[in-house]
A = this chain, B = another copy of it.
Amino acid sequence: MRTRFHQGLDLLKQKLLTMGGMAEQAVERAVEGYRRRDGELCKLVLDGEPAINTMEREIDELALDLLAMQQPMAIDLRFITAVMKINADLERVGDQAVNIAERVLHSLDLPEVELPADIPRMAGVARDMVRRALQSFIDARPESAQEILKMDDLVDDMNREIHRAMIAHMKQVPDALQQALDALLISRNLERVADHATNIAEDVIFWIKGADVRHHFGMNAVQP
C-alpha cells in the first residue's frame, strides 16, 4: 500500500513529465514556426507560456508540501530537491522557445533566403536531449545522463559551425544580414536548450551519486 507521501512523490514525477512535455512542445512549435515562417504557430508558443509558468509553481508547491509532510529520508530529500531544480530548467527551456518564437514573429516581413544553417536538425538533437535527460531522471539511470553530456558537445559543435557559417554569410550577402543573424541567434537559443538538458543530467548524476539510488529503486544495472 502506498502512503500519502509516496502518492505525492508519484504525482510530482507525473507533473514534472507533463512540464517536460510542455517545454519540449514549445521548442518544437517555435522551430517549426521558424522553418515554415508560420506566425500562428509562434503565437501558440507565446500563448502557452503562462501555462508553463503555472505548472512550474504547482510543482514547487507540491515539492514543498512533500518536504513538510514528514521527515523525508535522505534519498527522498535529494529526489524532491532535484525535481525543484529540474523544474526551473524546464521553465527556462520554455523561455528559449518563447525567444525563438518572438524572433520569428519579428522577422516574418523579411524576404525569405536560403541559409547554410540546419536549424531543424540542431533543434532535433536539443529536444532529444531534454527528453532523454528527463527520462534518465525518471528511470534513475546515470549512464543515460552521461550520454547527454556527450550530446551537448555535439550541439556545441553545431552551434559553432552555424556561427561560423552565418558570419561568413553576413559578409558575403550583406542584404541578408538580418536573416543570417536571426539564424545565429536561434542557434544560440537551441544551444541553451541543450545546456538546460545538460544541467538536468548533471542534477541526475549529483542526486544519484549522493544517494543509494540503486538500492532504493531496486535496480541492478546501474554502475557506480
Residues of A142-177 at the interface with B, using a CB-CB cut-off of 8 Å, are 167, 170-171, 174, 177
Given contacts A81-B81, A84-B85, A88-B88, contact A181 B210 (CB under 8 A): no
Whether A177 and B181, one on each chain, are in contact in the complex, defined by CB atoms closer than 8 angstroms, is no
A interface size (C-beta, 8 A): 29
The residue from B77, B85, B167, B178 contacting A178, defined by CB atoms under 8 A apart:
B167
Given contacts A71-B71, A170-B177, contact A77 B60 (CB under 8 A): no
Provide the residues of chain B in CB contact with A178, threshold 8 Å: 167
Whether A74 and B81, one on each chain, are in contact in the complex, defined by CB atoms closer than 8 angstroms, is no
A88 to B72, CA, bound (A): 23
Report the nearest B residue to A166, measured CB to CB: B181
- Asked if A78 is at the interface of the complex by the 8 Å CB criterion, the answer is yes
- Asked if A11 is at the interface of the complex by the 8 Å CB criterion, the answer is no
Residues of A67-99 at the interface with B, using a CB-CB cut-off of 8 Å, are 67-68, 70-72, 74, 77-78, 81, 84-85, 88
The residue from B57, B67, B85, B181 contacting A88, defined by CB atoms under 8 A apart:
B85
Provide the residues of chain B in CB contact with A185, threshold 8 Å: 188
Q: How far is the CB of A110 from chain B (nearest CB, A)?
A: 12
The residue from B67, B78, B177, B188 contacting A77, defined by CB atoms under 8 A apart:
B67
- Asked if A219 is at the interface of the complex by the 8 Å CB criterion, the answer is no
- Asked if A5 is at the interface of the complex by the 8 Å CB criterion, the answer is no
A206 to B59, CA, bound (A): 13
- Asked if A64 is at the interface of the complex by the 8 Å CB criterion, the answer is yes
A residues near B, CB below 8 A?
57, 60-61, 63-64, 67-68, 70-72, 74, 77-78, 81, 84-85, 88, 167, 170-171, 174, 177-178, 181, 185, 188, 199, 206, 210
